[in-house]
Structure 1
Amino acid sequence: MTTVASAAPARDTRARLPITDVRWSTVLAPLAVGVLVLVAWEWVVDAFDVKPYVLPAPSAIWTQVTDHLDSIVKGARVTGRNALIGTLAGAVLGVAGAMLAGSFRFVDQMAAPVVAALAVIPIVALAPVLYSMFGAAVDTGRIIVAGISVAVPVYLNTLRGLRQVRQVHLDLMTACAASRWQVVRTVTLPTATPYVFTGLRVASSLAVIAALIAEYFGGPIGGLGKSITSSAASSNYPLAWAYVSGAIVLGLLFYVVTLLVELWFSRHHRPS
């Protein structure tokens, strides 16, 4: 008796770049919309003779970008460094706080009003206070502002993810005499991970915005926020918009990098 076995194709377990998970339609569609918006923007400025102090034309902004590219890149490095440090510190603080709040009810109850207060603190009021505390010659105040902007959404999203763990899974781990760390590693964290990355994607762009706004109210010279203020004060509005464009690119870069890390993590930890 002859048995014919059909072998299933071997699964490719080699690591691939997460960019392969992104559909081209999700990239081309926003680019097409962006081009249409720029064309319409240029036409409106030319057709209605809009003054530069109201809205410069994209062509004028692009001229300033090419003429001051080195300055824009240098400012983006300063703002990006503060935003990056704030993102990492805020993410660690948010995840750690959510883990504590998810494990101990009294911590959750005590942290709720604190998180609510941090969520509504205006950056315009916090930045000058931090500059007076830590000094205006260092970037500590800007980093703290960015960190707070990140910690709140990361904390809230992580805590929501931790609460999605089903009780039946926890009961099963208890029946198997699993330790607290084993429960966290095999049940809690895998359930909460998508929510953590959702918070990070939102917070990564907020960190850039927070660091940028904090630069308006003092601190060391440098950064895109200071450059925007100086350009607007000298009535060079196309140059101010050029620095704004640099800030937009920086925020998009933070968002895309966070998204790629999320795609890589989901592929690397995908169940077999």
Structure 2
Amino acid sequence: MRAAGRWREVLAPVLLGVVALLAWQATVIGLELRPFVVPSPTAIGEQLVDHAAVIAAASWSTARNAFWGLVIGVAVALLAAAVSAAVRVVDEMTAPLVAAAAVVPIVALAPVLYTMFGANAQTARVVVAAIVSFVPVYVNTLRGLRTVTPVHRDLMRVYAATRRQATRVVTLPGALPFFFSGLRVAASVAVISALVAEYFGGPVDGLGKAITSAVSSSNYPLAWAYVVGAVVIGLVFFCATLALERGVLHRGNLRQRP
């Protein structure tokens, strides 16, 4: 039964994707849409095959920047959330900064960072991805650290547990689902922010620059092929974080069983 359920989980989105691609192809052919409006899936597929190496290289560059930005953003968010949860004053002091980081536009931030770190370095793109991924992880983790049910808190007091023991047994396990919720969001926005930052300067080895170059030369199927590369990166990041979440939470559940 479990195997059948897993197969359904896999086949259902695959079949839906196939149907969507067939409908897309039929619409382009039936309405005789021009490539600058929307190219057909077959035209995009041809560009994917013909420029596979170039698309892979550009995707790797964007993925690398997004990954390091995500790692830095998550690390800083976890540290900041731990301090804010322990010291209320720190939370009140940093709240305006977190709010500002949540609404700062990438289109305004990226050019400033390129000026600071240099147009030939990838640093600005990593910093943009780190700032964008910091917010969801920080907000969700801080909420998780403060979400302790009264019955669990009272139980720890009855057993005369120390603060460290209560944190290890109750607070951290309860905060894990909140952390992973923020991590899933951060993984997606890290890829988006790293790609968008590439439009405004820096080296010409990422998907953002490649899409701009393809559009400027009116090669719209190739531009969409680069977009497919970005979609693949986003899916890899999302699936990796989802697998990590299931592995950690499943292991925690096994340890809690008698």
Equivalent residue, structure 2, for 1:158: 141
Pair 24,178 (structure 1): closer, same or farther in 2 beyond 3 Å: same
Matched, 1:102 2:85: yes
Deviations 1:173-217 (A, max 9, x none): 345444433222111110000110111111101100000000011
1:1-272 map, 5 Å: 23-270=6-253, 271-272=256-257
Q: Which one has the bigger helix percentage?
A: 2
Stretch moving more, 136-145 or 97-106: 97-106
Cα distance, 1:51 vs structure 2: 0.5
3-state SS in 2 of match to 1:55: coil
Question: d(CA) in 1 for partners of 2:149 and 2:186?
Answer: 27
| Counterpart amino acid of residue 142 in structure 1 | R
Matched residues in 2 for 1:170 and 1:107: separation?
23
Q: Deviation digits for residues 199-237 of structure 1, max 9, x if unmatched?
A: 111110110000000001111120111111110111100
Measured in 2, the distance between the counterparts of 1:162 and 1:25 equals 36
1:119 maps to amino acid? A
Residue identity in the other structure for 1:238 = P
TM-score (norm 1): 0.89
Q: 1 CA distance for matches of 2:124 and 2:179?
A: 25
Deviation of 1:167 after TM superposition, in Å, equals: 3.3
**Distance in 2 between the 1:180 and 1:212 partners?**
43
What amino acid is the match of 2:230? A
Deviation larger for 154-163 or 250-259: 154-163
Where 1:269 maps in the other structure, the secondary structure is helix
SS at match of 2:39: coil
Question: Equivalent pairs: percent with the same residue?
Answer: 53
Deviation for aligned residue 1:168? 3.7
Which letter does structure 2 place at the counterpart of 1:75? A
CA distance in 2, matches of 1:265, 1:40: 39
Question: In structure 1, the residue corresponding to 2:61 is in which secondary structure?
Answer: helix
Secondary structure at the aligned position of 1:107 is classed as helix
In the TM superposition, structure 1's runs of 4+ consecutive aligned residues that sit over 6 Å from their partners are none
Rounded to whole Å, the distance in 2 between the matches of 1:194 and 1:74 is: 34
Secondary structure of 2:70's aligned partner? helix
CA drift of 1:101 comes to 1.5
**CA distance, structure 2, for counterparts of residue 39 and residue 24 of structure 1:** 22
Cα deviation, 1:24-58, whole Å, max 9, x if unaligned, reads 32222211111111111101110111010110000
The amino acid that maps onto 2:98 is V
Gaps of 5+ in 1: 1-19
In 2, Cα distance between equivalents of 1:83 and 1:73: 15
State the one-letter code of the partner of 2:171.
T
Which secondary structure does the structure 2 equivalent of 1:136 belong to? coil
Q: Distance in 1 between matches of 2:183 and 2:73?
A: 10
Q: Structure 1: how far apart are the matches of 2:150 and 2:94?
A: 23
SS at match of 1:23: helix
- Distance in 1 of aligned mates of 2:60 and 2:149: 44
